[in-house]
Amino acid sequence: MPKTRLKAGEMPVPDLSVRGVGVFRGWLNAQAQAALVEDLRAVVRAAPLFSPVTPSGKAMSVRMTSAGRVGWVSDRRGYRYQPHHPGGAAWPAIPGAVAEMWHQITGLSRAPDCCLINFYGSDARMGMHQDRDEADFSYPVVSLSLGDDGLFRIGNLTRGGRTESLWLHSGDVVVMGGEARLIYHGVDRIRAGSSSLLPQGGRINLTLRVVD
Ligand SMILES: O=C(O)CCC(=O)C(=O)O
Ligand SMILES: [Mn+2]
Q: How confident is the model over 74-94, as pLDDT tens digits?
A: 999 999 999 999 999 999 999
Q: What is the 202 CA–ligand 1 centroid distance (Å)?
A: 14
Stated as kind and residue range, the H or E segment containing 98 is helix 96-106
Q: Confidence band (pLDDT; 50, 70, 90) for 2?
A: low
**Range 21-209 has CATH code 1.25.40.10:** no
Q: How far apart are CA 72 and CA 17, in angstroms?
A: 27
Q: How far apart are CA 94 and CA 89, in angstroms?
A: 15
Cβ of 116 less than 6 Å from ligand 1:
yes
pLDDT, position 3 = 52
| Residue 1 pLDDT > 90 | no
Residue 61, helix vs strand vs coil: coil
Q: Which of 109, 122, 114, 124 is nearest to 51 (CA)?
A: 124
Q: Which of 151, 99, 106 is nearest to 12 (CA)?
A: 106
Q: Which of 201, 194, 202, 170 is nearest to 29 (CA)?
A: 170
Ligand 1, atom nearest to 207 Cα: 9
Cβ atoms of 27 and 171 within 8 Å: the answer is yes
Q: How far apart are CA 38 and CA 41, in angstroms?
A: 5
% of the chain with per-residue pLDDT over 90? 95
* Dihedral pair phi/psi, residue 119, rounded to 5°: -115, 125
Q: Do the strands 164-168 and 63-68 form a parallel or antiparallel pair, or are they unpaired?
A: unpaired
| Residue 139 pLDDT > 60 | yes
Please tell me the residue having the least CA distance from ligand 1 atom 9. 207
From 118, 125, 144, the mutation candidate for ligand 1 (largest count of ligand atoms within 8 A of CB) is 118
Q: Is pTM, for the whole model, over 0.85?
A: yes
> What mean pLDDT comes out for the span 170-199?
98
| Residue 120 pLDDT > 70 | yes
pLDDT, position 138 = 98
Residue pLDDT, tens place only, 122-137: 999 999 999 999 999 9
| Residue 148 pLDDT > 80 | yes
pLDDT, position 179 = 97
Q: Which of 110, 44, 119, 54 is nearest to 80 (CA)?
A: 54
Q: What is the number of the ligand closest to the CA of 74?
A: 1
Q: How far apart are CA 130 and CA 125, in angstroms?
A: 15
Mean pLDDT of the chain: 96
Cβ of 195 less than 6 Å from ligand 1:
no
Residue pLDDT, tens place only, 35-86: 999 999 999 999 999 999 999 999 999 999 999 999 999 999 999 999 999 9
From 174, 191, 207, 208, the mutation candidate for ligand 1 (largest count of ligand atoms within 8 A of CB) is 207
| Residue 194 pLDDT > 80 | yes
Q: What is the 94 CA–ligand 2 centroid distance (Å)?
A: 18
pLDDT, position 5 = 56
Q: Confidence band (pLDDT; 50, 70, 90) for 11?
A: confident
Q: What is the number of the ligand closest to the CA of 79?
A: 1
Q: What is the 131 CA–ligand 2 centroid distance (Å)?
A: 5
